[in-house]
Structure 1
């Protein structure tokens, strides 16, 4: 599937291939011959889609996300020696409030990993959830799960997104069968 199987201490080295894939794609396009609207379409449809699968499995290092955003911004504005007329954060705003709707990679990465948390929480019968449950939280629910000893980076990423899931979660008593006293 193109994902690293062993992830050591240096996450920057392990996930460098994501940055290189985006760079190869951007380098292949001639930014001087493509209009700004064309660059916007290329960025949204291709360059921002390349790291999506990796980002759905792992939380990428903030520096890596910033480097990718920097490469995309340079391509959008027309090369290395050009002036950037708006900050990347302003370009990432929705179109309705003056941005171009580009993705903020840090926020997008977190949203994709939280989606895995939600999948574990709502679909206990899937193979994905059964494997994680057997390995990491066999005696409890995902809400009560702990990090464990030497967890995979995928599990650590899911647990890092727990705070975001709990921010929007509410609990209902229902019939009372799931209340522990």
Structure 2
């Protein structure tokens, strides 16, 4: 515990601070700069909070510019080193669009130029180079899309592992009365939660229910109809809003669809 420290909110009473410090035997600190390589506090100046990523990439590229590298060598360095530096942070936070664009520009300048102050024509846009080689690109990462994919993967983990500690904390705080896919953002939420909420359209568009007993699937709102373009019912009845579950459409005795009811 002597290696541990605690950071209190400004709203914490002094008596409670002293009780916590004496009980656990930890010291109080004014701020945590980083924890496990990630910023602990992300305020309104989000670009400044993640500017260290740009500095890391810039230092890498500067060390390579004085060397004579082939196109293959540049491709490997960009993919394996320069574009892999922000990967760890992208799995937790949504990086600002401006920062992603600047990281892409740095890699593009290194790809087309060589010397430190040399400026060469960019014969193809970075968007084309980010496409797969089958489509005529170079297979470089679109960092913004890659960032959203990493965060969507974290959201999928929350949906699949509902016994994890992070799921229980988020559910108690942000969606206590609904599922993760039905959750929404709030004004006083953490930036980690806001980052996950940015990927909610991706999860809703790409996920589809696999019907088991059908007790958790809403007939009219959820996506559950396989081999159908939208995977969901597009035209609900006009009389009233149905709250039926897919389990209501299944014959419990024969464990097959109730075709007459459908």
TM-score (structure 2 length as normaliser) = 0.65
Match for residue 88 of structure 2 among 50, 53, 58: 53
1:105 aligns with 2:143: yes
Match for residue 94 of structure 1 among 125, 129, 132: 132
Larger helix percent: 1
Structure having greater relative contact order (Cα 8 Å, sep ≥ 6): 1
Query: Equivalent residue for 1:136?
Result: 174
Shift of 1:134: 2.8
Shift of 1:173: 5.5
Query: Equivalent residue for 2:238?
Result: none
Match for residue 167 of structure 1 among 205, 214, 234: 205
SS at 1:124 equivalent: coil
Query: Equivalent residue for 2:47?
Result: 12
1:67-78 matches, within 5 Å, as 67-78=102-113
1:153 aligns with 2:188: no
Rounded Cα–Cα distance in structure 1 between residues aligned with 2:43 and 2:139: 34
Shift of 1:17: 0.8
TM-score (structure 1 length as normaliser) = 0.92
Q: Are the equivalent residues in 1 in contact too, given 2:209–2:217 (CA < 8 A)?
A: no
Question: What CA RMSD, in Å, does the superposition of the two structures yield over aligned residues?
Answer: 1.7
Query: Equivalent residue for 1:25?
Result: 60
**Alpha-carbon spacing, 1:179–1:96, altered in 2? closer, same or farther (3 Å):** closer
Shift of 1:132: 1.9
Shift of 1:146: 2.7
SS at 2:207 equivalent: coil
Structure 1's unaligned 5+ residue stretches are none
**Alpha-carbon spacing, 1:139–1:90, altered in 2? closer, same or farther (3 Å):** same
Larger Rg: 2
Q: Are the equivalent residues in 2 in contact too, given 1:31–1:78 (CA < 8 A)?
A: no
Rounded Cα–Cα distance in structure 1 between residues aligned with 2:66 and 2:160: 44
SS at 1:70 equivalent: helix
Shift of 1:8: 0.9
Larger strand percent: 2
SS at 1:67 equivalent: helix
Rounded Cα–Cα distance in structure 1 between residues aligned with 2:157 and 2:66: 39
Q: Are the equivalent residues in 2 in contact too, given 1:15–1:60 (CA < 8 A)?
A: yes
Aligned residues: 181
Match for residue 36 of structure 1 among 71, 76, 82: 71
Structure 2's unaligned 5+ residue stretches are 1-35, 219-242, 244-262
Shift of 1:179: 5.2
